Structure 1
Amino acid sequence: MVKNAQFGSWESPLTATTVAAAGVSPRWVDVHDGVVWWAESRPTEDGRVALMREGPDGKPVEVLPAPWNVRNRVHEYGGRPWVVLGDTVVFTSWADQRVYRYTEGEDRPVAITPEPERHHGLRYADLSPGHDGTSVLCVRETITGDRPVDVVRDIVELPLDGSGPTSLVASHHFLAGPRLSPDGTRLAWLGWEHPNMPWDGTELCVATPGEPHRALAGGPRESVCQAEWESDDTLLVLTDPRGWWNLFRIGLDGTAVNLAPCEEELGGPLWVLGSRWFAPLGDGRYVVLRSDHLAVLDEHAGTVTDVDTDLTAWSSDVAVHGNTVVSAAGGPLTEPAVVRLDLDTAATTFVSGPREDLPPVEYLPTPDHRVFTSPDGRRIPAHVYLPRNPGFAGEEGGAPPLLVTVHGGPTGKASDQLRREVAFFTSRGLAVAAVNYGGSSGYGRAFRESLNEQWGVVDVQDCATVAATLADEGVVDGARMAVRGGSAGGWTAAASMTSLDTYACATIMFPILDLTAWTDHGGETHDFESRYIEGLVGRLPDHADRYAQRSPSNHVDKLAGPVLLLQGLEDEVCPPEQANRFVASLDGSGLPHAYLTFEGEQHGFRRASSVTAALEAELSFYGQVFGFVPPGVPVLELRS
């Protein structure tokens, strides 16, 4: 029997604890000698990243027991942390950031890099095979001082016997993707300089050891995001000279051929080192990701054709074995898992094993893929999720509250794969809209660059347009709308609350709040993003007034409603100092607010206990603002 009850007060089997436990997400998938390997996060083990492989019986095998944590801090977001050479796996360890080798059956892993003089002072990522299977290539990050921007990087070779490292290249401030040519005589890599981010402009470089390098592709306004050797004389390259990441064949003489010209994104933003959006199948065919969807590029026909599968969101970890694709993938009703997909038969095998704790499908919302229109005529893609619970319906004639979810980056993207966090809210009677505002990836360079110098304007307006349109349509209750997001999404949430009256409240997670401090001069962010803001807002000191005018920290008195702030105390990307100052300004203001901090958490929450506490606090917060009582959730204490 369906019960009519206030939106937000519905009972649901999706507790915050079950949502937190679901964060066992796979990443860094690859195939070695037909065996699938991957890493997976473990929220119930304080966010440890475990190294896994496929066992002889097809079941997952944990390669390294706790407390080994296969993760690194390069760029603070990390990069590919392992590679297999023969019967040996080489990996980075979070505890000391050193590189280790391990052969199953040995007593314990052995370090092959020196112990740094300062804690986490040497970091390594983007591991790939070196010469003759006896060494590893990777990007090394060396901390040279106490400021976040005191960092230098080079590409090094690490012999497995621990006799290295040997520095090979230090051509740019940022480096990625070291690859040896098949004959071992040349090295290819990507490089870029401040203030560019890798999706703005990178160079594809090639050199013979000991000789000056040549840039074969890329530049200040062309972004190469992946390059692999095809032969000793040619490389396969994802780059965007015409505004879309397409697949090219580039010779050592610089000649370039687009294998299937299209206005489609076959690559993506290089947020983490070691991402892979394509892999060769042979005979002129390639597996590619077309805006997260799996597709096959045929260079002879010049076509890119989607693969027919219910898995609509594929990770940038594409690998192949024969005519089988291996990666992490999910869909609207499927959480991310390591899968094999046979391109001949379309048969899909879940390598990482089926999830046994999935909530009943009738509680899972399906996204309505919509495109909204901004006042100036731009398109705004969004995924809209309406309340879904087989046991409940809303009040007669009423409409649900809306949570506008803002993805991070801001050069990121909201996919449509199943997220229990969304179902946690929709199964209780709340609607959710995940907005791909101007600046999001997946829609070409022009769409990405619509946010240039407009951060805090275009993103804020686009999210508000989606919210207002849904309210005007009667789909949601326009008087009960909230905006929520983390990192850059936290910025947009805070900027929305200090510049608009669209929302009744906001949840602001590990945010940017003070633009001037979040620069290389202000010293409150890490080196990788320390000049990102120049493209998003403008250069200092020319645009100092713009920085001050847009910073939510300078407009606490203009907040349109209550706010909840959530912050990890070990966050080096968006440090707690910004949230601390914001909350200090709020205390005594009379505006209801709450501030929860989490020990041991960096940028984003990895521990199950943190995710549980954050979700329960958020739901209680909405209940107090919107006027409903969520069952089974502790009451969050608001202060003013």
Structure 2
Amino acid sequence: DFYAAPRLSPDGQSLAYVTWNHPQPGGVGGMPWDDTELRLTRIDNNNNNNSSNISAETASHTLVAGQDGDTSILQPLWHPTTGDLYYISDASGYYNIYRYKMGDSTSMNVLPMDYDFGGPAPGWVLGQQGFTFLPQDGRLAAQYSKDGKSVLVVATVIGNDDGPTTDVQEYGMDDGLPMQFGSILGTTGSNDLYFTGGSPSTPTSIYKWNLSNKQPAEILVCSSSLKFPEGFISIPQQVEFPTTNNKTAFGYYYPPKNDNYQCTTEDVPTLLVKAHGGPTACTGTSFNAGIQFWTSRGFAVLDVDYSGSTGYGREYRRRLRKSWGIVDIDDVCAGAQYLVAQGLADANRLCIDGGSAGGYTTLGALAFRDVFRAGCSLYGIGDLTALAGDTHKFESRYLDGLVGEYPKDEAIYKERSPIESVDTLSCPILILQGEEDKIVPPNQARMMHEALLKKGIPTCLKIYEGEQHGFRKAENIEDALDSELAFYGKVFGIDIPGAVDIKIDNM
């Protein structure tokens, strides 16, 4: 059903590519982080324009990896001098880097580690490449994340045919690298590496870093020209907290930070918990104005990588299977309660927000749990049945693995849809929605708003003309943030200087 990452060998004789199918009835998966195959096809350069000489793809390929139907293979890349094929696979339980030797058709994990290589969003975006080669000396450079920080691994991969490489060096922030980085590109004839990355005080940028001199990485292109005083930048702290089923989950805690104000030791901040979209994705630590907006105004923020997020291995990622709307909600609630227990958040002023899939987690936490006192859904999914019936091909069977087969499991869809459980809602909710949203149609927001009105719950609905699934216009992004701040100010009785006027029904 799907093809991705075509890579032509250096000699032009072989084409490697990744492919995967929708799940069979009763199956799970169907997304590139679930189960894919890495295939290899020989190219006949003498007959490549003669369709009568081209065999059926399924009959002419070599299956390199993914034979078990339960392994995710991503990011194939040919070595420029040896002609071997490298790729990322989660066969070990983590996304590690493997080498397929063309000579004897064998694969080996060259960097076995209990960390995910490959970048933060495997399979969502075409063209990602979490490792590269330094061909002049037979080394490979790759990235993984540890304790919320990116680590650059440089390893010798030529001359170690008998087992995993043991010649490994690691580099991080102390060596001039940013706190977080992803896709990497090497260059022939030099030790320069190029990559995308950022830090809590630096927006996502393109960096150049030289492996030889290890000077601070040079920013070549930055996604924002704005400069922010360090005294207003909150630095995240990765937290690991207990959650249901004797598991732990992860998030990034941002304390309030504003040099113009000083809190007393008795002050416990309002906490805003943020649920990322996807849901098979993750949050990050590069500068995020949408988080610093809150911390500079006295809020603490917990940005949660709930169960199902990427970057923590296959078991963590697969916790979401058949459990979306359960474990993610458990985790955002557990994270908030953990910070309350640590004295880092006020139990009476807990709020939550999220967009798209994160909006679904937000609405679910407000409908099915009693932890938060207010929330904001940004173009959030309220009706899973509507989502199952109208989405694009790539995600059209995504919910099979997250919830169940539709319509066979329609009862589960309804049970987990917040729009079907408005009677259980009891706290104020702000709903922000784009008028032209095709993924979460605005009628869902209107239905949720009407139900809240009838129940007498404080609520506000703002629909932005010209916006789709995710706000793009600067004036609407600004208004959404200002409206959410004013909403919490009224709900919690917080004096917000210069707050915008917002009309909250039933209040």
Are 1:614 and 2:480 matched, yes or no? yes
Decide whether the 8 Å contact of 1:498 with 1:552 is kept in 2.
yes
What is the match of residue 118 of structure 1?
Answer: none
Q: Match of 2:41?
A: 207
Pair 570,274 (structure 1): closer, same or farther in 2 beyond 3 Å: farther
Asked if residue 266 in structure 1 is aligned to residue 117 in structure 2, the reply is: yes
1:242 paired residue number? 92
Structure 2 counterpart of 1:379, from 228, 248, 266: 248
Structure whose residues are more often helix by fraction? 2
**Among candidates 144, 148, 169, match of residue 290 of structure 1:** 144
Deviation at 1:297, TM superposition (A): 3.5
Choose the corresponding residue for 1:446, options 306, 309, 315: 315
Return the alpha-carbon distance in structure 2 between the equivalents of residues 538 and 336 of structure 1: 36
* Residues 326 and 338, structure 1, Cα contact 8 Å, conserved in 2: yes
**Contact 1:394-1:400 within 8 A present in 2 as well:** no
Equivalent in 155, 171, 188 of residue 306 of structure 1: 171
What's the CA shift for 1:353? 5.7
Q: TM-score, normalised by structure 2?
A: 0.87
Task: Look up the match of 2:182.
Answer: 315
Contact kept, 8 Å, 2:19 with 2:36, in 1: the verdict is yes
C-alpha contact (below 8 Å) 1:452/1:535 kept by paired residues: yes
Q: Distance in 2 between matches of 1:634 and 1:468?
A: 30
- Could you tell me which amino acid in structure 2 is paired with residue 433 of structure 1? L
The AA in structure 2 aligned to 1:216 is V
Q: How many Å separate the matches in 2 of 1:463 and 1:290? A: 25
- SS of match in other structure, 1:393: coil
Aligned ranges 1:125-164 → 2 under 5 Å: none
Three-state SS of the structure 1 residue aligned to 2:221 is coil
Matches within 5 A, 1:402-413: 402-413=271-282
Counterpart mapping for 1:425-444 below 5 A: 425-444=294-313
Retained in 1: the 8 A contact 2:322–2:402?
Answer: yes
- Could you say which residue in structure 2 is the equivalent of 1:182? 10
Structure 2 residue aligned with 1:599, among 465, 468, 471?
Answer: 465
Q: Residue 46 of structure 2 aligns with which residue?
A: none
CA distance in 2, matches of 1:459, 1:380: 10
Q: Measured at CA, do residues 227 and 626 of structure 1 come closer, stay the same or move farther in structure 2, by a change above 3 Å? A: same
Separation of aligned partners in 2, 1:326 and 1:413: 23
Runs of 4+ residues over 6 Å off in structure 1? none
- For the 8 Å contact 1:310–1:331, the answer to whether it is kept is no
Deviation sequence 1:24-68 (CA, Å, 0-9, x none): xxxxxxxxxxxxxxxxxxxxxxxxxxxxxxxxxxxxxxxxxxxxx
Q: Report the counterpart of residue 198 of structure 1 in structure 2.
A: 32
How many correspondences in the alignment?
465
1:514 equivalent in structure 2: 383
**What CA distance in whole angstroms lies between the structure 2 residues aligned with 1:473 and 1:254?**
54
Please say if residues 260 and 302 of structure 1, whose CA atoms lie closer than 8 Å, have aligned partners that are also in contact: no
1:283-310 Cα distance to aligned partner (Å, 9 max, x none): 3322212037141231342536233335
Alignment of 1:357-372 (within 5 A): 357-372=226-241
Quickly say closer, same or farther: Cα 1:621–1:319, change in 2 above 3 A.
farther
CA distance in 2, matches of 1:356, 1:527: 37
Q: Distance in 1 between matches of 2:63 and 2:444?
A: 40
Identical positions, percent: 36
- Please state if 1:424 is matched with 2:264: no
Shift of 1:237: 0.7
Q: Is the 2:320–2:402 contact (alpha carbons within 8 Å) kept by the matching residues of 1?
A: yes
Write the distance in 1 (CA, Å) between the matches of 2:261 and 2:500: 22
Contact 1:260–1:304 under 8 Å retained in 2: no
What amino acid sits opposite 1:249 in the alignment?
R
Structure 1 unmatched runs, 5+: 1-172
Q: In the alignment, is the contact (CA less than 8 A) between 1:181 and 1:188 conserved in 2? A: yes
SS at match of 2:4: strand
CA change 1:304–1:346 in 2 (3 A) is closer
> Which residue in the other structure is 1:224 paired with?
73
Rounded to whole Å, the distance in 1 between the matches of 2:261 and 2:282 is 32
User: CA offsets per residue over residues 144-179 of structure 1, 9 Å max, x none?
Assistant: xxxxxxxxxxxxxxxxxxxxxxxxxxxxx1111122
Deviation at 1:559, TM superposition (A): 1.2
440-449 vs 208-217, greater mean Cα deviation? 208-217
Per the TM alignment, residue 317 of structure 1 is displaced from its structure 2 partner at its CA by 5.2
Once the two structures are TM-superposed, the CA of residue 454 in structure 1 deviates from its matched residue by 1.2
Residue 66 (structure 1) aligns with: none
In the alignment, structure 1 residue 276 sits paired with structure 2 residue 125: no
**2: CA distance, partners of 1:218 / 1:239:** 8
Q: Deviations over 1:199-227 (max 9, x none)?
A: 00111122134232232112521111100
Measured at CA, do residues 216 and 591 of structure 1 come closer, stay the same or move farther in structure 2, by a change above 3 Å? same
Q: 1:370 to 1:309 in 2, by over 3 A?
A: farther
Q: Aligned partners of 2:444 and 2:171: how far apart in 1? A: 44
What residue number does 2:160 align with? none
Instruction: Check conservation: 1:194, 1:531, Cα contact below 8 A.
Output: yes
CA pair 178-613 structure 1, distance change in 2 beyond 3 A: same
Match of 1:561 in 2: 427
Q: How far, CA to CA, are the matches of 1:462 and 1:531 in structure 2?
A: 25
Query: Unpaired segments of 5 or more residues in structure 2?
Result: 24-29, 44-53, 158-164
Distance, in Å, in 2 between the alignment partners of 1:224 and 1:506 is: 38
Deviations along 1:406-428, whole A, 9 cap, x unmatched? 11111111112221211111111
Q: What residue number does 2:203 align with?
A: 335
The answer (yes or no) to whether the contact 2:10–2:83 under 8 Å persists in 1 is no
Kept in 1: contact 2:93–2:313 (CA 8 A): yes
> Per-residue deviation at 1:318?
4.1
Flag the structure with more relative contact order, 1 or 2, with Cα contacts below 8 A and sequence separation at least 6.
1
Matches for 1:480-519 after TM superposition, within 5 Å: 480-519=349-388
Cα offsets for 1:113-136 (capped at 9, x unmatched): xxxxxxxxxxxxxxxxxxxxxxxx
Question: Is the deviation greater in 344-353 or in 444-453?
Answer: 344-353
> In the alignment, does 2:493 pair up with 1:624?
no
Q: What letter is aligned with 1:314?
A: F
Alpha carbons of structure 1 residues 395 and 260: separation in structure 2 relative to 1, 3 Å: closer
The 2-side partners of 1:637 and 1:502 are apart by: 25
CA distance in 1, matches of 2:226, 2:468: 27
Question: What per-residue deviation string (whole Å, max 9, x for no partner) do you get for residues 496-522 of structure 1?
Answer: 000111001111112121112211xx2
How far apart, CA to CA, are the structure 1 residues paired with 2:425 and 2:401?
26
Distance in structure 1 (CA, Å) of the matches to 2:142 and 2:437: 34
- Counterpart of 2:31, as a letter, is M
Q: Secondary structure at the match of 1:376?
A: helix
The alignment's TM-score, normalised by the length of structure 1, stands at 0.69
Contact 1:373 1:379 in 2 (8 A): yes
Alignment of 1:27-66 (within 5 A): none
Q: Distance in 1 between matches of 2:370 and 2:260?
A: 34
